[in-house]
Structures are given as structure tokens and as C-alpha cells.
Amino acid sequence: MLIVSACRQDTPASQEQQPPLMMGKTTPTNNPSGEPLTLPKTGTGNFENLVADFERKDRGIWQKPDMVISLLGNLEGKTVADIGAGTGYFTFRMVPTAKKVIGIDIDQRFIQFMDSVKVRMPEVYRKRFETRLAKPDNPLLAPGEADAVVIVNTYGYIEHRVQYFKTVWKGMSPGAKMLIIDFKKNNLPIGPPDEFKVALSQVEQELVGAGFKIDKVDRESLDYQYIIIASKPTLSQ
């Protein structure tokens, strides 16, 4: 499984570019509104290319991160796990509102990258954010730890997915939601090769097999991707 590679894609240039959250030109000393922070220059060669791919300015146009995060509802007082976090493109967007955000990845380079961003965040945000180096078959969530889980551009890179998501299920609190975003199996101008794409119907089947309830399926809001909201049933469901 290559979770850390999941966000990499060949993205077309766009004339309507919006800066991603972590790509500001200056580093603010106080950031109560979640304004952009400067990314550190980390690593060389292929890793820098990965960072550039993850943080492309036009990603905000076709992936609409703020809109899709809103599908999780109010995150106040909740612990959110971002599995396959990469550079923290989605992770850091949730820090201003959640009680705690855990950026999870299996690549130590991305853990170090997110940690290098964390040290320059306001103290109130540093206390809310944690990185976690996971295993390919286990995100290392404590039982019932996460009230919400986010998995973006990662699903097709996970091996033995039903078993993997049974493990994720154990790490979620009753009623917790999981947001999955991944690429449609079409001839798209962006995204990974077809071998790393999973049909929407298969994702639904696998999640149900792992014990989740499918709450919402959205094929229309994003041009290149589908959105799934699933949840861990409560004892009464």
C-alpha cells in the first residue's frame, strides 16, 4: 500500500488559481482565521515534486476542499483523523475548528514536513494538531479515538481494504463520520493511473463489508471525483 503517493496527480494548468491553505508568501505570527502559512523547503528531488503536486494552486478549484470538509458538519469538540495526510492539505484546514486533528501517513518524510509546519503555527493550533506515523495496514488509532475520519485521494492505494477499514472502524467513536474522496474511473485529465482507481460501487460494497453505513454518495459536486460519507453505526442503529 502506498498511502503517501495517493495525492499525487498530473494537474492541468488553470487560469483561476487560488492559493492552497499552506502556501502563503509570509508566515503570520498569529493566525486565528486559518490564513495561509508558508511551507518550508523540505527535501530534494522526488519528494519536492510530491510536495509541489500536493500543493498545486489549482487543486482548490477542482477539489473544493472547504466545501467537502463542510460535509462533516460542525467539527467543534471533535477529534479528526486525516489518513494519508501527505503535506496536510486537508489536515491544516480543519485545525482552526476541530478540537484535535491527527495527520496520519506512512511516510516519515511527510510526518516531518507537517511537523515543520506545526512549529510555526500559533500555540493554540499547535496544541490541537498531532502527526502520527502509521503502518500500511493500520492507521494506529486508539479504540474510539476519532469522531471523524478523512481519506482523500488515498482509497485505491490501500491494500486489503475491508480488513483495513475494520481496523479504522475500531478507531472511531459510535456515530463517527468518514469522508472519502477519490477519482472516478473515467478518462480524466488529472488523477492516478486506472490501476489506483476504485469504482464507486466497489467502495460502497467494501465499506459496508467493514461495518459502515453509507450516508451519502455525491457524484456531481466534483468534476473528477466522487464523495462518500459513511458512518459507524451507534448501538441503537
User: What domains can you pick out in the chain, each with its CATH number?
Assistant: 62-231 (3.40.50.150)
- Is 189 a residue whose pLDDT tops 80? no
What are the tens digits of pLDDT across the range 114-156? 999 999 999 999 999 999 999 999 999 999 999 999 999 899 9
- Other beta carbons within 10 angstroms of residue 219's beta carbon come to 11
Q: For the residues 16-31, what does the mean pLDDT come to? A: 31
Burial 146-175 (b: 16+ CB within 10 A, else e): bbbbbbbbbbbbbeebeebbebbbebbeee
Q: For the residues 212-234, what does the mean pLDDT come to? A: 95
Taking the C-alpha atoms of residue 104 and residue 186, their distance in angstroms, rounded to an integer, is 29
Find the helix or strand (DSSP H, E) in which 80 lies: strand 79-83
The confidence score (pLDDT) of residue 175 equals 96
pTM over 0.85: no
Q: Which of 101, 109, 106 is nearest to 149 (CA)?
A: 101
| Alpha-carbon dihedral 4, 6, 8, 13, rounded to 10 degrees | -150
The confidence score (pLDDT) of residue 44 equals 40
Residue 191 C-alpha cell reads as 488523477
Taking the C-alpha atoms of residue 104 and residue 179, their distance in angstroms, rounded to an integer, is 15
Confidence of residue 62 (pLDDT cuts 50, 70, 90): low
